[in-house]
Structure 1
């Protein structure tokens, strides 16, 4: 299924938006939350395909889930010690977070299984998580360090000190989950700071975990069941923020969005580019910082994103690239090679699709360069998404600066992370399914 976007709506005023919960936290609310035996509620659980994938796998392992009203899920967990020990085939579909975090859980709990995924996930690198888990004592089998991956019931995990050679919150989380489940001590040193949702949730649920700079230490811990509130997804909010910035005389307020310091770097960068953004009503929910984000139409200037910031905006780079395309000057985003191994080669997707739109972008020595232009483009374009949800939505945002038709191929891929996007995007855009 494709969509055509023909023109746009001007003057979107004072729209108040409430978004589904953050995908990263949703995965962890299921995997980490169900480690202890007990009952708890998850509030604002997103209905994205990736999160449903994790939910279905946890149900296969023995967790019960009951859907309530207003995106609330009630979880009844038998405790990890009572999870099914021979889980059979577990289909992770398109979700890299699911497979990597799950590997930590399965190794720590000595659960036998075979992890599979769709064509895209089956191409993604898994050595980065398999190797450290094997060093920890995990017994894992795979061909060329990719899916399918087998876990056995013969792992004997040990205490571990590990230096992260790859900046990956998923790998870090897999190791922390494995250690927690196996009642082991672990110390992890990061080379670059990455998302810390796992550390925050473990602490919220009672784990003996400490973070000092780039050192994370976890000692043997017993978690307790507690209700978990999931803030609005900042990565989904990024597209609505982009639409508002590139539109004319518009303003929106997005309520109770995640503003964790390692996820809100995208907002900081936009403000440095001249975006009219304010964050208000900050408060803490389930250990995470949330706030209301108010945005108005803005004129942007180019910026340099330094390499140590790139891991914390990795999901937002497609959207940032589109905004850079309509900024004054040439934007540089350093150390972007990780984009090559996401759901698609996002680096190629960004450069090739910007080129189709008449915008110059190129890759050089690990960095992405985008030469901004003012005003609007005026050409019919067909965006090749390679079924990548973030490429699809980023270039849907670009359409607000196209005076002709923008066609987005394989739009259904956006259900992976933001299935309700059309009702939000249509506040700004005239969209037709084709």
Structure 2
């Protein structure tokens, strides 16, 4: 499905509620939440494709999931010891989080399975997770450390201390999950901090887990079932924030959004660029900070974003790149190579689509440069999304500064992370399905 975006709306003043639940927490609410035996509820579970894939695979492993209403799940888990031991094929579709976190479960519980994915996921690197799991004693059969991955051989996991070679919350999470299920102690050390939803959820459910600076120590633990509330997805909120910043004389309040410090760094960066944004932390739910974000139309300036921040803003770099194009001066984003192995090569997606819009950018020695100084675009544009949800939505944000039409192909892929995205984008843009 393609989307044609016509003239943007102006003077938007909105309070936006009911953003889809945060994708990262949703995955973990099922994968970690199902480890203990028990019944619990998940509130505000998003229906994006990636999260639904995790749900279906947990059902295949033995959990029973009931939709009590549109966004509330009742989950009945037999406990990890009673998971099915031979489940055949687990299709992870496009979800890197699903496959990597499930690998920790499968090898630790000695569950026979074959993990597969779509064409995009089958190209993505799995060595980063297989290598440390093998150090723990995990056994996997695969070609060139990519999908499909077979876990039919017996694993015998041991305690390890592991220094992360790749800054990845998925890798860290898989190791912690494997150790938890195998009832082994583990120490994971990070060079650069990554999002900490796994540590927060494990602690909330009763794990003996300690985090000090960049070191995470998990000792043998038993979890308990507890209800889980999923706040609004801050990575989805980012696109609404971007639309408001570029819109004319507009303001938006986003309610009940995840404000985890490991996920809100992009807001600090946008404030450094001159954005008028304020956060109001209101409460803690299952260990996660939740509150409101208020944003107004803003004039931005280019900045240099240090490499140490890249892991914390990895999902927002396409959006920041678009906003940088309409900032004063040049923006430099350091160490962006991880973008090349996401759902698509996002470095190419950013540069090629900016070029198509008449905006200069380039990649050099790991860094991304975007030349600002643009006010408006006035040409009919075709955006190649590469079937990548974040590229599609980032360039939908750009369209608010296009005086003519913007056509974005494969908009349906936005459902991976932002279900019903048209409803929210349409507050700012006149969008037509084509």
Same fold (TM over 0.5): yes
Q: Deviations over 1:407-427 (max 9, x none)?
A: 001111111111211001001
Residue 375 of structure 1 and its aligned partner are, at CA, apart by 1.5
Tell whether 2:395 aligns with 1:409. Answer: no
Match of 2:423 in 1: 423
**CA 1:153 to 1:41, structure 2 compared with 1: closer, same or farther past 3 Å?**
farther
Give the match's secondary structure for 2:238. helix
CA distance in 2, matches of 1:66, 1:12: 38
CA distance in 2, matches of 1:424, 1:214: 37
Give the match's secondary structure for 1:174. helix
- Structure 2 counterparts to residues 46-195 of structure 1, below 5 A: 46-195=46-195
Residue 290 of structure 1 and its aligned partner are, at CA, apart by 1.1
Residue 291 of structure 1 and its aligned partner are, at CA, apart by 1.1
Residue 152 of structure 1 and its aligned partner are, at CA, apart by 2.3
Residue 153 of structure 1 and its aligned partner are, at CA, apart by 4.8
Tell whether 2:352 aligns with 1:361. Answer: no
CA distance in 1, matches of 2:11, 2:412: 28
Q: Is the 8 A contact 2:136 2:160 kept in 1?
A: yes
* Structure 2 unaligned regions, length at least 5: none
* Structure 1 unaligned regions, length at least 5: none
Match of 1:208 in 2: 208
Residue 16 of structure 1 and its aligned partner are, at CA, apart by 2.8
Match of 2:343 in 1: 343
Q: Is the 8 A contact 1:382 1:406 kept in 2?
A: yes
Tell whether 2:339 aligns with 1:319. Answer: no
Q: Deviations over 1:174-208 (max 9, x none)?
A: 00000000000000111110010000000000000
Residue 94 of structure 1 and its aligned partner are, at CA, apart by 0.2
Residue 303 of structure 1 and its aligned partner are, at CA, apart by 1.3
Q: Is the 8 A contact 1:53 1:95 kept in 2?
A: yes
Match of 2:274 in 1: 274
Q: Deviations over 1:342-385 (max 9, x none)?
A: 00000000000001001101001110000012320101110001
Q: Is the 8 A contact 2:140 2:153 kept in 1?
A: no
Q: Is the 8 A contact 1:236 1:418 kept in 2?
A: yes
* RMSD (CA atoms): 0.8
Q: Is the 8 A contact 1:17 1:252 kept in 2?
A: no
Runs of 4+ in structure 1 displaced over 3 angstroms?
A: none
TM-score, normalised relative to structure 2: 0.99
Residue 304 of structure 1 and its aligned partner are, at CA, apart by 1.1
Residue 14 of structure 1 and its aligned partner are, at CA, apart by 3.1
Residue 280 of structure 1 and its aligned partner are, at CA, apart by 1.4
CA distance in 2, matches of 1:404, 1:183: 59
CA distance in 1, matches of 2:195, 2:380: 38
Give the match's secondary structure for 1:18. coil
CA distance in 1, matches of 2:261, 2:411: 31
Give the match's secondary structure for 1:216. strand
CA distance in 2, matches of 1:114, 1:18: 36
CA distance in 2, matches of 1:105, 1:177: 6
CA distance in 2, matches of 1:271, 1:298: 10
CA distance in 2, matches of 1:127, 1:315: 21
CA distance in 1, matches of 2:74, 2:17: 25
Match of 1:13 in 2: 13
Q: Is the 8 A contact 2:11 2:250 kept in 1?
A: yes
Q: Is the 8 A contact 2:259 2:281 kept in 1?
A: no
Q: Which moved more, 1:151-160 or 1:363-372?
A: 151-160
Q: Is the 8 A contact 2:20 2:419 kept in 1?
A: no
CA distance in 2, matches of 1:304, 1:75: 45
Q: Is the 8 A contact 1:359 1:373 kept in 2?
A: no
CA distance in 2, matches of 1:307, 1:232: 27
Match of 2:241 in 1: 241
